Amino acid sequence: MSRLTAKFDALRAAKRKALVPYIVAGDPDMERTLPLMHKLVEQGADILELGVPFSDPMAEGPTIQLAHERALVHAVSLSGILELVTEFRRHDQDTPVVLMGYANPVERMGYDGFAERAGRAGVDGVLIVDMPPEEAEPLNEALARHELDNIFLLAPTTTDERIAKVAGLAGGYIYCVSLKGVTGAGNIDVDQVQKLMQRIQAHTDLPVTVGFGIKNAETATRVAVCCDGVVVGSALVEAVASAEKNGTDVLEATTLIRDIRHALDAISR
């Protein structure tokens, strides 16, 4: 059983919601990303989404764009990130790690080479933002050969027909985009998320996490009631950036995750 499936089974059995923080690998630098990953787990993260920096992050709002730019100053590469995951796995064999990024760095490495190396490094899932199911077949095959889950996005604009198609290809979990917009965008509309969740759940038993616009314990708990987990991206990336800017320890940024963990656990009881 994949680490992601095992994790969600355990969470469901414990009636808990998955807490999935997103950080950009190499922000503020590679040396500090590793301790940040461990600290996030310590503060209550169930799954880690590691952003793979790209020069043209089309789906990101300003906060995460800047994080990609900061990482690229140090020439952070997909290879380097796979080494980072290898390091992480030496001390943590339980927490699933998902790489989230854009198609081109993966294209450049080659699907098969990437899948093979990612599998060996201990990556569990891959989410390529700009690779919808229509284009994903070759990558899917490569990932399947190395027992990696391909995680897809579903959006408020997704038709039922497409939901069915994605449900057939997806593994691990489905990432439900809460709003029409880029990461870090405005206010989340819980009613709309709920409606989309119902449409998704009519087609699949896969766990569904919701992301985009979840900023704090309050938004996390409001959304979590209708799904299996929440992704916290821009708010955490922002906290890392301000810690770095203020010269404080970036590990402090993870208190946001601790607070959300407490709030989520309070509602699941």
Partner 1 sequence: MAKAVDKAIDYASFPDKRGHFGPYGGRFVSETLMCALDELEAAYQRLKNDKDFQAEFDQDLAQYVGRPSPLYLAERWSRETGGAQIYLKREDLNHTGAHKVNNTIGQALLAKHMGKKRIIAETGAGQHGVASATVAARLGMSCHVFMGEEDVHRQALNVYRMKLLGAEVIPVKSGSRTLKDAMNEAMRDWVTNVDDTFYIIGTVAGPHPYPQLVRDFQSIIGREARAQCLEQTGRLPDALVACVGGGSNAIGLFHPFLNDESVAMYGVEAGGYGVETGQHAAPLSAGTPGVLHGNRTYLMQDDNGQIIHTHSVSAGLDYPGVGPEHAWLKDIGRAEYVSVNDDEALTAFRELTLVEGIMPALESSHALAYAKKLARSLDKDKTIIINLSGRGDKDIHTVAQIDGIQLT
Tokens of 138: 């070759």
Question: Cα angle at 171 between 22 and 152, to 5 degrees?
Answer: 55
Least Å from the CB of residue 20 to partner 1:
18
Please state the closest distance from residue 59 (CB atom) to partner 1, in A.
5
User: Rule CB under 8 A: is residue 181 a binding residue for partner 1?
Assistant: yes
Query: Does 162 engage in binding with partner 1 (CB under 8 A)?
Result: yes
Whether residue 97 contacts residue 45, with contact meaning beta carbons closer than 8 Å, is answered with no
List the one residue from 26, 28, 44, 61 that touches partner 1 (CB under 8 A).
61
Q: Which of 33, 43, 77, 221 binds partner 1 (CB under 8 A)?
A: 77
- CA–CA distance, 125 with 260 (Å, rounded to integer): 23
Distance of CA 172 to the CA centre of its chain: 12
Binding of partner 1 at residue 78 (CB under 8 A)?
yes
Which residues lie below 8 Å from residue 185, measured CB to CB, with a gap of 6+?
A: 61, 179, 212, 213
Distance (Å, whole) CA 106 – CA 114: 7
Nearer to partner 1, 11 or 84 (CB): 84
225 binds partner 1 (CB under 8 A): no
Of 35, 79, 91, 141, the one binding partner 1 by CB under 8 A: 79
Q: Alpha-carbon distance 258 to 42, whole Å?
A: 9
Nearest to 97 by CA among 231, 177, 29, 3: 3
The reply on whether position 233 binds partner 1 by CB under 8 A is no
**What is the contact mask toward partner 1 in residues 94 to 113, using x (rule: CB under 8 A)?**
--------xxxxxxxx----
Tell me: does residue 191 bind partner 1 (CB under 8 A): no
Kindly list the residues in this chain that would bind partner 1 in the complex (CB under 8 A): 54-62, 65, 69, 72, 75, 77-79, 102-109, 129-132, 134-135, 152-159, 162, 177, 180-182, 185
